[in-house]
Chains A and B, each alone.
Chain A
Amino acid sequence: MSLNKRTYQQCSHCVMDTSDIKISFDANGVCDHCTDFKDNVLPNWRTDASGRAEFQQQVEKIKEDGKGRSFDCIMGMSGGLDSSYLLHLAVKEFGLRPLVFHVDGGWNTDIAVNNIQVIIEKLGLDLYTEVINWNEMRDFQLAFFKSGVPHLDIPQDHAFVATLYHFANRHGIKYILNGGNISTECVRNPKDWLYYGTDMAQLKDIHEQFGTIKLETYPFSSVLFHKIYLRYIKGVQVIKPLNYLPYTKAQAADTLQAEYGWRPYPQKHFESRFTRFYEGYWLPSRFGYDTRRVQYSSLILTGQMTREDALERLKKPAYDPATIEEDFEYIATKLRISVAELRKYHEMPLKTYKDYKNREWMFDLGARVLKAIGVERAVKR
């Protein structure tokens, strides 16, 4: 099954291909992700002394504003590589005092829990945990399964983002440190694969059509709340420190392992048991969308992986065929449905975000504006 009518083509420089429906190629077979990186991202990406100095300036401001408060900034911690390394840098190298915030959506792997624990303990910090109502999360995730769309991870993602923003707002915290980064994420997942997680029109429509219970405590945050109200009315700033400093996957993982006994994951985003199943199995097998293409292409563009190595790795599936039955069982049991029902959703007709209400135009416009004013360099499309 496929939504794609194009003749197969793969970029000659990275490993993105026509599974990304809107991909375009130049005369040399180089894709638009690569040209966009070269033209727009690379010239504005400084991780040398000047980048560090720019970040150091922000650090001084954060510290100044945080004087007399228990915390000077807030950051979300998933236990994954980006947030773990960000926490290490913020505290150890820059002496910031972040409130470390973990949102438990119910799918933490044991490695994630271990990683959060070892770093928090060694740095002598407290962890603030916010727990999403599991019954609501479960029902919302099931609604997405029933809708047939690819972006099943929205209920988790949205809850993480919304909870953090609401917490920052409630406690008057002005700086949010974010682990988002060019180094490992410069190629973005195409909109057709993972649609915007804060499009409330889409979330509401899918919940209204397929949800079975009211979402009474599930945290919502519309893009207008966190991108406009928080940023421009309340003056809350989101800072991405990893973009100002040398940050590579291998070096970061080594540092964290050596200093904290942190444990690496087999793949990005695999700190959540749900995401592991979803990105490792569901997306590639149901839609032909392999998020490793996006991740590996980012690493190729930033010089951390060769194209040959990426192609070699892509020959193997992202999931372990020996344990996939077990995973089906685990996911179905946790969602309180039968394995047969879960399989039924896997085989149902493919849907896209366009099959449900959405405000795509508003997000596209916002993305273009952010790109034009230089806030975002690598833009989702």
Chain B
Amino acid sequence: MIAIVDYGSGNVSAIADIFKRLKLPHTITRDHAELKVADRFVLPGVGAFDTTMRTLKESGLIGVLSDEVQGRGKKIMGVCVGMQILGDSSDEGVLPGLGWIPGHIRRIDPSTINGLPKLPHMGWNSVNIKSDSPLFEGVDPERGFYFLHSYYFDANDSESVLATVDYGNKLPCVVGSGNVFGFQFHPEKSHSNGMAVFRNFSLL
């Protein structure tokens, strides 16, 4: 069972729709007991870094998620800001992140991009896959994914960058370390490629 963590952030139903279409057992929940029996998690997130961290904290779910992910090694995938809060800190705020993948969230430097104005980065973009992770099975990197963001995950360890996107510089767009994964783009809006990613995550 995949638990989509319902801590008060948007986007949960769009993600649930995909699992429904994939016919994969899933639940949208903030119930501790349900989270404990789930075998993997999706952590959504939209909006600002601090707001998202605060909402997550107020939901009282950090403890149980920590136990399950850090303690028991269950797999988790963060999406968009849900990915960013997996890092240590962000240019966008002052609150610490979860720190499950060492790294800092940086604002995309608009001066690296030709023409004006270019933030947020919104729309389809092809990606460069950097790892042979089964997460990318059946993904067409040329077709790419749908992005909507102004910040990116600058991982401390280059080994944890699993894919990058060319936007000005090469920006990490998928990070992973052990059982923790983060996706800057929106797999739930990326049609066939996005469905492949969710399916692959469910099989990891």
Chain A residues near B (Cβ < 8 Å): 104, 106, 108, 110-111, 113-114, 117, 126, 129-131, 133-135, 217, 263
Contacts and interface: CB of A to CB of B under 8 A. Distances in A.
Contact of A134 (B116, B120, B143, B186): B143
A220 B119 CA distance: 31
Contacts of A126: 10, 46-47
A104 B146 contact: yes
The prevalent SS among residues of A at the interface is mixed
B124 interface: yes
A117 B120 contact: yes
B63 interface: no
Contacts of A263: 117
A101 to B, nearest CB: 13
A134 B191 contact: yes
B47 A106 contact: no
A376 B119 CA distance: 39
Closest 5 CB pairs of A and B: A131-B189, A133-B191, A114-B117, A113-B122, A131-B146
Contacts of B148: 129
Contacts of B71: none
B190 interface: yes
A342 B123 CA distance: 23
A114 B191 CA distance: 24
Contact of A104 (B46, B116, B117, B123): B123
| Residue from B122, B123, B190, B191 with most neighbouring chain A CB atoms (10 Å) | B122
A134 B123 CA distance: 10
B122 A131 contact: no
Interface of B: 10, 46-47, 115-120, 122-124, 143, 146, 148, 186, 189-192
Given A104-B122, A134-B124, A135-B143, A110 B116 contact: yes
A135 B191 contact: yes
Nearest to A170: B13
Contacts of B146: 104, 131
Contacts of A114: 117, 119
Contacts of B186: 131
B24 to A, nearest CB: 18
9 contacts: A104-B122, A104-B123, A110-B117, A117-B120, A126-B46, A130-B189, A131-B186, A131-B189, A134-B143
B116 A131 contact: no
Nearest to B10: A126
A341 to B, nearest CB: 19
Contact of A110 (B115, B143, B189): B115
A374 B107 CA distance: 52
A108 B191 contact: no
A223 to B, nearest CB: 26
Nearest to B146: A131
Contacts of B119: 114, 117
B61 to A, nearest CB: 21
Nearest to B121: A113
A146 B10 CA distance: 40
Nearest to B115: A110
B112 to A, nearest CB: 15
| Residue from A110, A130, A131, A263 with most neighbouring chain B CB atoms (10 Å) | A131
Contacts of A104: 122-123, 146
A108 B118 CA distance: 12
Nearest to B189: A131
Nearest to B46: A126
A108 B124 CA distance: 10
A227 B148 CA distance: 33
A131 B122 CA distance: 11
A108 B189 contact: no
B144 to A, nearest CB: 9
Contacts of A131: 146, 186, 189-191
B189 A106 contact: no
Nearest to A171: B13
Contacts of B116: 110
A172 to B, nearest CB: 14
B123 to A, nearest CB: 6
Contacts of A111: 117
A135 B143 CA distance: 8
Contacts of B120: 113, 117
Contacts of A106: 123-124
Nearest to A334: B124
B25 to A, nearest CB: 22
Contacts of B190: 131
Contacts of A110: 115-118
Contacts of A134: 124, 143, 191
A114 B117 CA distance: 7
A129 B119 CA distance: 16
